[in-house]
Amino acid sequence: MPNYSQQPNSKGNRPNYHPPYRKAGQQVPRRRFLLETTWKNRRAKSAKETAPLKAVELDYPSIDSNFQTFCASHGILSGFDAVEDFLIHDLYELTAFARQQPTSEKLEQGITQILAIIDTQHQPWVNGVELLDDAVHRKHVLPTGREGIDLLLGGGLRVGQLTELVGPSSSDKTQVCLLAASYFASKHMSTVVYLDTGNSFSTQRIAEFVGRLSNHTVSQAGQRNLQNVLTNILCHSVFDIFAMFNVLYRLEFNLKSQKGGQVRLLIVDSISSLISPILGNSSSQGRALMTSAGYLLKKLAHEHNIVVLVTNHTVGGEKGIPKPALGQTWKSVVHVRLLLSVNHGNATRSISVLKHLSMVSYF
């Protein structure tokens, strides 16, 4: 095992541990291969995560290189994971170790400072007046470009809420998402983050919607407008829930560091294709991941004033009547649930509200 109590050398290697070397072509036992891979990944991760705390040194002198080395010797990383490491660590034990060091006073100051920084990250308590002010001035209703939906919802999708489109195949769920993305990027001049789980994103449909919205013919001005709209739509292909979490956490970081642009709409088409595969057994892990996904989407919507729009398919219910997938737990997650229906006999489509915060009850 590496001795983390010693200072790393100039190349970042721990002096008492070196990855095992091998000759070219020599087969490596699996245990040794995993050890080498873990060591390389740890070095790469440490190198990548050192920068943030070095920037903090300028404002907090007690969090210097000596303090960072002390933390590393107790398994506390120096980057963005430091907060989590501190929260799960025995702080009394950490403080006791610090008091045994020659620079104990400064190390204790560093621990106190880190805890103070963590404390500032907590959301402050808010009262009813502040909540009302937030609702009036920041939680606006934004049109989608789909007249039926906008009339049904009193103007459109509300900022800070998670809205779900439910419907069977070919009920226009994806078309509504593409139209909303086009409208937000064109009319609201905002950034749209589009998570595509089934390769259904279509630039051709976006171009058609933009042409209708701007009344531009195929001209130079129309092409420039389309180019601007497509630039404002950031599409990510995600095919499992962990890939979605990765994109959402990167988005959250960019929004917090003000690198995410003016994101006003986040679309996941479809959320059920990511969650359904992990609900196939009796294990509670799948439901926990589903709840975490819902919490993160609602957190992004509320804290960063974003409209979140997701799609969900239907499954067979009692007496053969279709019902939304993902069960009762997910039903309680969404703020608004719209049902898109299609009558294949006369090729008509309809929209109805299954759940809305302004409704006393819903079915």
Tell me: the pLDDT tens digits for 22-80?
Answer: 444 444 444 444 444 443 444 444 333 333 555 566 677 788 888 878 887 877 765 55
Give the residue among 30, 108, 45, 109 at the shortest CA–CA distance from 82.
45
- Rounded CA-CA distance 309/219 in Å is 32
Tell the burial category of 227 from Cβ atoms under 10 Å away from its Cβ (0-12, 13-18, 19+).
exposed
The more confidently predicted of residues 220 and 165 is: 165
**Stronger pLDDT, 216 or 7, i.e. the higher one:** 216
Q: Which stretch of DSSP H or E encloses residue 68?
A: helix 65-72
137 or 348: whose pLDDT is higher? 348
Split at pLDDT 50, 70, 90, the class of 238 is: very high
Most confident of 20-24, 138-142, 175-179, 220-224: 175-179
**8 A C-beta contact, residue 336 and residue 355:** yes
pTM of the full structure: 0.64
150-177 average pLDDT score: 91
| Confidence grade of residue 183 (pLDDT, cut at 50, 70, 90) | very high
The span from the CA of 269 to the CA of 288, in Å, is 21
Residues of the chain with pLDDT > 70: what percent?
70
**Kind of pairing between the strands at 348-355 and 336-343:** antiparallel
Question: Where does residue 49 fall: left (phi above 0), alpha (psi -120 to 50 degrees), or beta otherwise?
Answer: alpha
Mean pLDDT of 258-272: 86
Of 33-37, 86-90, 251-255, minimum mean pLDDT range: 33-37
Which is more confident, 58 or 208? 208
